[in-house]
Structure 1
């Protein structure tokens, strides 16, 4: 047992050193002295005095909960942090506990100033070296002389801290991703992290009372990977609230396929383009159109897609759309295609369901679980353009390809709210 733990520690150190070496080569590291000099700032100095006066009284009766999410600054992961804050306020937990939030940028959390003590670490995203310093050195020093009831790490790590209880929330499914040449070509960090994330996840994970993930398949995969009790992995699906417009829009003509996504190489835009290329050889291209939310300006991957497939007349490379326009396209489109190979939760799938949109979805674990119970879906091999082209052809000609799906969560430990998570400690 001791030899196994020693070997695991060595592997973690080796892989961390590989990342640090890569960062040194690419000038992504900064002087560690700069970190030590970085002040922790309260959310808003104008409110500092009043907030602290209130909290001095609170500390006599309230237990302290610290939440660390210093790596979250945009997109779906930041939304998870916001959802956490919103739910804590709505449930009244902020009145029962004294919350201290560690964040990357204080201006991102201004709306929560009246509810939480908010501390800023703006250099936390300068490099992975700095991130690791905060997680495994700084937070331990910070928590040493404090009576912390619960520490929640809300971004893929298990920091070393002094706290009665500890929880880590894991978003990133990269540990299960099989990286290849394309990953190295378009995103070297994803390539490297696909190999080291399993070791980063293992680091100090046993210090957690519970680990939280968004899907059942991630829970089971992580239990095996980390040798962590499945009963201590909580499956808590993200709350995806969709505010639909009241307006009613007509379907576009001709038959319209829609794939809304940012430009990431694992989003697999090219499989749709290859399918269109094949299908255009069999049927008249005027019978259908495909709308993709990239335009070639985003990054090298998007540029390569446009260079290779920009001549396909029935693909509209429209670029990134505002959310309200995405919702309009859900109404106006005939079918969603979702070919992504790597997701924590395929949000467009959940959104498309709200609009009762038929969908052709990658035959992967995350997709089956995200689809859940739905009666207008079919699955395809995300590496098989010919299969996708065949399904698209049948959909265009109104052939019966869409079936019912029913995914049943088998996780032994599920929660529907943060209130339920907190109740586990009472």
Structure 2
């Protein structure tokens, strides 16, 4: 299989669940999956169950919207345990596809599962005080995810490193876990201006406020660049600065030191792709399955500063405009940014902390 849409049989009735996706990479994957289903002529019927109003029913794809599971975990649990199995029965679906890390229980139907959270499979551990939701995922949700992988007919992951981690952790049969990377349509990225100005470069980081996205490292690196006397550059975060006490403090620190960091808030996918094409993508996240902006920037031909971890090395393998840095060293990122600001960057595709 070379695309997620191919997990849907061409005949019969299938039902796809993804009420979890509402923004970020998960929503991008769902949007591309929907576009693929709509564009593919198939005699079978597909029901798509989700929580936003972004998608519309077509002749071959029937969209079912349920927003109430997003209210809290109790509503989500009620949906998964009762509503989802009922929908499978009502639609008479022969194949169940879950794009939200967990299988649908009590169905008796063959299931395909997309696992896109790396949290059960990484060495980094989060404390409850630091990140309660991530702690819940690693301590409470992880066993359910592992159980789902063991009991689904087919599990899809997005990278080879993730497949190896899943097989090692679950003991699932090798043939039951397959890699299908996200596919960004070339029409979304081609034809854009991917040149980076020789002066006044912009470093762009499209990411949410989750702690492992590592915005603090960028702020610290910019502080060090300012101490070195370097100027004439801008950093853009897709944050408002009010997302959490941690982000509020980062923004306050940025403003008090007059750092050239702009907090612009969320962007549409098209706006983000346009900004990527005119900027240097900086990607300091240290917990990812794939890192979709890396692929989007690669397809646009942009210069990329990426964390030196297996997921980034895999996504950017062979790409000559990528530089790597230690995600736990502000000095490492500072040096890569300084090279670009000073015009000394030599993008060989192999330069980085492990080189």
Corresponding residue for residue 153 of structure 2: 209
User: Higher helix share goes to which structure?
Assistant: 1
- The whole-number CA distance in structure 2 between the counterparts of 1:143 and 1:318 is 43
Corresponding residue for residue 80 of structure 1: 29
Contact 2:236 2:261 in 1 (8 A): yes
- The whole-number CA distance in structure 2 between the counterparts of 1:156 and 1:289 is 37
Of the three residues 200, 209, 221, the one matched with 1:275 is 221
The worse-fitting range, judged by mean Cα deviation, of 138-147 and 313-322 is: 138-147
Alignment of 1:344-423 (within 5 A): 344-399=289-344, 401-405=346-350
| Cα RMSD after superposing both structures | 3.0
1:214-267 Cα offsets, whole Å, 9 max, x none, are 111111111122221222111111111324566787727334433233333221
Contact 1:295 1:317 in 2 (8 A): no
Of the three residues 102, 124, 130, the one matched with 2:75 is 130
Closer, same or farther: CA 405–273 of 1 in aligned 2, 3 Å: same
TM-score in terms of structure 1 length: 0.70
1:173-205 Cα offsets, whole Å, 9 max, x none, are 222342335x733x4212221222320212343
Of the three residues 189, 199, 208, the one matched with 1:262 is 208
TM-score in terms of structure 2 length: 0.82
User: When the two structures are aligned, how many residues end up with a matched partner?
Assistant: 338
1:113-139 Cα offsets, whole Å, 9 max, x none, are 432333343322233233233334444
Contact 1:69 1:102 in 2 (8 A): yes
SS of residue in 2 equivalent to 1:403 = coil
Matched, 1:197 2:141: yes
Contact 1:151 1:163 in 2 (8 A): no
Corresponding residue for residue 71 of structure 1: 20
Matched, 1:251 2:251: no
Corresponding residue for residue 169 of structure 1: 114
Q: State the Cα distance separating 1:324 from its structure 2 match.
A: 4.8
1:135-172 Cα offsets, whole Å, 9 max, x none, are 34444455468754211112111122434521111122
- The whole-number CA distance in structure 2 between the counterparts of 1:200 and 1:207 is 11
The worse-fitting range, judged by mean Cα deviation, of 316-325 and 217-226 is: 316-325
Closer, same or farther: CA 271–250 of 1 in aligned 2, 3 Å: closer
Alignment of 1:1-150 (within 5 A): 63-93=12-42, 95=43, 97-105=44-52, 107-110=53-56, 112-140=57-85, 143=88, 148-150=93-95
- The whole-number CA distance in structure 2 between the counterparts of 1:194 and 1:399 is 42
Closer, same or farther: CA 312–401 of 1 in aligned 2, 3 Å: farther
- The whole-number CA distance in structure 2 between the counterparts of 1:120 and 1:327 is 27
- The whole-number CA distance in structure 2 between the counterparts of 1:194 and 1:288 is 38
SS of residue in 2 equivalent to 1:184 = coil
Contact 1:337 1:361 in 2 (8 A): yes
Q: State the Cα distance separating 1:270 from its structure 2 match.
A: 1.1
Unpaired segments ≥5 residues, structure 2: 1-10
Matched, 1:297 2:242: yes
Corresponding residue for residue 306 of structure 1: 251
- The whole-number CA distance in structure 1 between the counterparts of 2:260 and 2:305 is 17
Q: State the Cα distance separating 1:287 from its structure 2 match.
A: 4.9
Corresponding residue for residue 132 of structure 2: 188
Unpaired segments ≥5 residues, structure 1: 1-61, 407-426
- The whole-number CA distance in structure 2 between the counterparts of 1:125 and 1:390 is 42
Contact 1:372 1:405 in 2 (8 A): no
- The whole-number CA distance in structure 1 between the counterparts of 2:19 and 2:275 is 34
- The whole-number CA distance in structure 2 between the counterparts of 1:361 and 1:247 is 20
1:67-112 Cα offsets, whole Å, 9 max, x none, are 222323333323323322322232222x2x232333335x3332x2
- The whole-number CA distance in structure 2 between the counterparts of 1:261 and 1:139 is 30
Closer, same or farther: CA 294–99 of 1 in aligned 2, 3 Å: closer
